Amino acid sequence: MDNKTLIEALSKRLNRNKTEVSNMIDGLSTVIKDHCADMDTVAIPGFGSFEAKKRLERITVHPQTGKRLLVPPKITLSFKPSALLKQKIK
Amino acid sequence: MNQKITFPELVNAISESTGYSKHLSEEFLKEFFSLIANTLASGENVKIKKLGTFKVVEVDARKSVKVGTGEEIEIPGHKKVSFTPDKELAEAINLPFAAFETIELKDSVTDEMLESTDDQPLTDDISTEVKKEVAPPLPLTEWDAEDDADDIDETKDDIAPESSETPDEGDDITQSDLDNIADYNDIEEDDSIIIAASENIDIETTSDDNETNATTESIDSVDSESAEERPSKTVEISEQRIIETPISEASINQESTSEESDSQAIAAERESSKNSLQSDIDSNEETTTRRKGFLPGFIWGIVASLAVFAIAATAIYFVNPQLFNIDSEASTQSTQIVSADNLATDSATTITDTAQGSTSEEKVIMPDTKPSDEVVYDTISLTRFLTTMAREHYGNYHLWPYIYEENSKILGHPDRIRPGTRVVIPSMEKYNINPDDPECIKQAKRKGVEIYNRYKK
């Protein structure tokens, strides 16, 4: 399901127009961004939690050239599905 | 920091950022995530703009061992959710580490070296910076001001150290002036240099005043102690000043008349030198009035020579008024040289030598820097990045943004440069690059972040 169909389905369910729904999604993404940039965890009951995780630097080997590369440390946004969602998907 | 944002908090935050009611925000969140969950349950992927993609991934059955008993079990194949954040979102979250890039390790780097550095991935970079800060940087004009301040302190204590200090100061100044001249050639940073230079002039003149004050103070103290030797020494110094100043100015004049093409810079020099001389005269007059009661013969000689010099200076001014019209940035040089040289108790000839030497050095360097930016090319490959080039040509990979800036017309996103792209390596002088200066490295880093920010939208 792509972004367009998701917004359409949501606007039908909420009885709101599409711009309102897309504004909501934008708001949600900025809130998640702001909180995760502060290394906070955003938890959504029944769905999962969005969490910023620090990854240490590491050394990888380029499969084609065989050169060793030092990958720098970074912060990634990870999603941890809740038990309920896991059960649902299984 | 490390807080858990609960559902009600999330609802509040969203209603705040969007302006919709809390009720609607809550309803939206519930519907939004239940819809995603249902869609995922049906085995479909969900792509949300500005957030990311939720995917359903099949996990194959695999064998494992029961932790308690050691009994072999088989975990059956199942599905799980994987989430890939949107590129924008991921970059925003990784912003603190955005400046880092993947580096290729050379064969000379052994595993032991890596193990020793593994524990301190971030501090390594910082510690090198700190080391560079500890190492004495090249004498900049700011440092000269500080040196002057030191000199003032020492002159208060004694006059003798002052004379030993001033030659050093002169050296510093010539070096920093060469920097200034290099800056002068740099068209892009011209304005900032003008400001910096004018500031330097201010600093110099004020420090000059301080120095003269210091000398008069020392004279006073000596007077009260009624020691005969030392006052005469100070008068000697001031006398020498007067004798030396016309010579140094005359030398500069000679240089400038012979070099009409450089007249702009040198005219400015002359003006400033004149100013400084004038201020010197003023201060000397001050000292002479104070000393009048003690050694009238000296004083009258000094006053007479001052008058002669003033007449000469005004005559020069009226003959060539256009030479004094331009106020420019290179003027610091002569101000500094003259003020420094005047204080030196060495013979007048060596002083004029340094003045001449520095002006001639200037002439050597001015034509030198222009042809020195002969174009250096390098080619991007799978293993040669801008950072590699920066390390080879400048000695520090953090300086890559300057290469990027030079070629910004042909390059797109700095991480997506096609192999085979031929780039121009700008000369170090063009962007005033100094790999030993931590400030320069910091500036390059800031520039790098700014380049990445250009491609964020």
CA distance A78 to chain B (A): 7
Q: What is the CATH number of the domain that holds B397?
A: 3.10.350.10
Note the pLDDT tens digit of each residue in B298-352. Answer: 778 888 888 888 888 777 777 765 555 544 444 444 444 444 444 444 444 444 4
Pair of tokens at residue B56: 């359903």
Q: Flag if A77 and B41 touch (Cβ within 8 Å).
A: no
Residues B59 and B71 in one domain: yes
Kindly provide the b/e burial profile for residues A1-28, where b requires at least 16 CB atoms within 10 angstroms of the residue's own CB: bebeebbebbbeebebeeebbbbbbbbb
Report domain extents, chain A. Answer: 1-38, 46-90
Closest CA to B315 of B268, B246, B264, B261: B246
Q: Which of B63, B78, B97 is the last residue of a domain?
A: B97
Instruction: State residue B342's pLDDT score.
Output: 45
In chain B, the number of structural domains is 3
In this structure, the answer to whether residues B234 and B352 fall within a common structural domain is yes
Has residue B262 been placed in a domain? yes
Question: Looking at the structure, do residues B363 and B378 belong to the same domain, yes or no?
Answer: no
Give the pLDDT band (50/70/90) at residue B374: low
- Domain annotation covers residue B311: yes
Statement to judge: residues B298 and B284 lie in one domain: yes
pLDDT mean over B128-146: 42
Q: How confident is the model at residue B205 (pLDDT cuts 50, 70, 90)?
A: very low
pLDDT by 10s per residue, chain A, length 90: 788 888 888 888 888 888 888 888 888 888 888 888 888 888 888 889 888 888 888 888 888 888 888 888 888 899 999 998 888 887
- pLDDT of B173 strictly over 80: no
Q: Cα dihedral angle (B320, B325, B328, B334), rounded to 10 degrees?
A: 40
User: What would the mean pLDDT of B238-254 be, rounded to a whole number?
Assistant: 44
Q: Give the closest residue to B321 by CA, choosing from B259, B254, B271.
A: B271
CA B267 centroid distance within chain: 28
Q: How confident is the model at residue B137 (pLDDT cuts 50, 70, 90)?
A: very low
The reply to whether CATH 3.40.50.300 applies to domain A46-90 is no
Chain A residues touching B381 at Cβ < 8 A = none
B46-48 β-sheet, strand order: B46-48, B52-59, B78-85
Residue B149 lies in a domain: yes
Q: Are B205 and B319 in a shared domain?
A: yes
Asked whether residue B349 falls in the same domain as residue B396, the answer is: no
| B317 domain-assigned | yes
Higher pLDDT pick, B436 / A54: A54
Distance CA B288, CA B294 (A): 10
Looking at B62, B97, B132, the residue that finishes a domain is B97
| Separation between Cα atoms, residue B87 and residue B89, nearest integer Å | 5
For tokens 């080039």, name the residue: B389
Closest chain B residue to the Cα of A82, Cα to Cα: B81
Can you read off the two tokens belonging to residue B27?
């309803």
Q: Decide if B190 is inside a domain.
A: yes
- CB–CB of B249/B274 below 8 Å? yes
For residue B414, what are the domain limits?
373-454
Whether residue B284 lies inside any domain: the answer is yes
B389 and B339: one domain?
no
The confidence score (pLDDT) of residue B171 equals 43
**A30: which chain B residues are within 8 Å (Cβ-Cβ)?**
17
What rounded mean pLDDT belongs to chain B? Answer: 63
Ramachandran category for residue B305: left, alpha or beta (phi over 0 → left; psi -120 to 50 → alpha): alpha
Residue of B137, B139, B135, B133 whose CA lies nearest to B180 = B139
Instruction: State the average pLDDT over residues B153-168.
Output: 42
Round to whole Å and give the CA distance between B368 and B171.
21
Size of interface A-B (CB pairs under 8 A): 181
Do B317 and B298 lie in a common domain? yes
Q: What's the pLDDT band for B177 if we cut at 50, 70, 90? A: very low
Residues B313 and B400 in one domain: no
Identify the CA nearest to B272 among candidates B319, B213, B208: B208
The C-alpha angle A61, A66, A71, rounded to 5 degrees, equals: 30
Q: Count Cβ atoms within 10 A of the Cβ of residue A67 and give its class: 0-12 exposed, 13-18 middle, 19 or more buried.
A: middle
Cα(B126)–Cα(B90) distance, rounded to whole angstroms? Answer: 25
Q: CB within 8 A of A47, min separation 6: which ones?
A: A81, A82, A84, A85, B33, B36, B37
What's residue B1's pLDDT?
Answer: 67
The yes-or-no verdict on residue B401 having pLDDT over 70 is yes
Domain shared by B362 and B421, yes or no: no
Cβ <8 Å between A27 and B100: no
Are B155 and B295 contained in the same domain? yes
Range name among B69-83, B107-121, B128-142 with the lowest pLDDT average: B128-142
Chain B residues closer than 8 Å to A82 by CB:
none
Across the range B211-219, mean pLDDT stands at 43
Query: pLDDT at position B311, please?
Result: 85
Q: Supply the pLDDT for residue A34.
A: 87
Asked whether the predicted pLDDT for residue B397 surpasses 50, the reply is: yes
B225 within some domain: yes
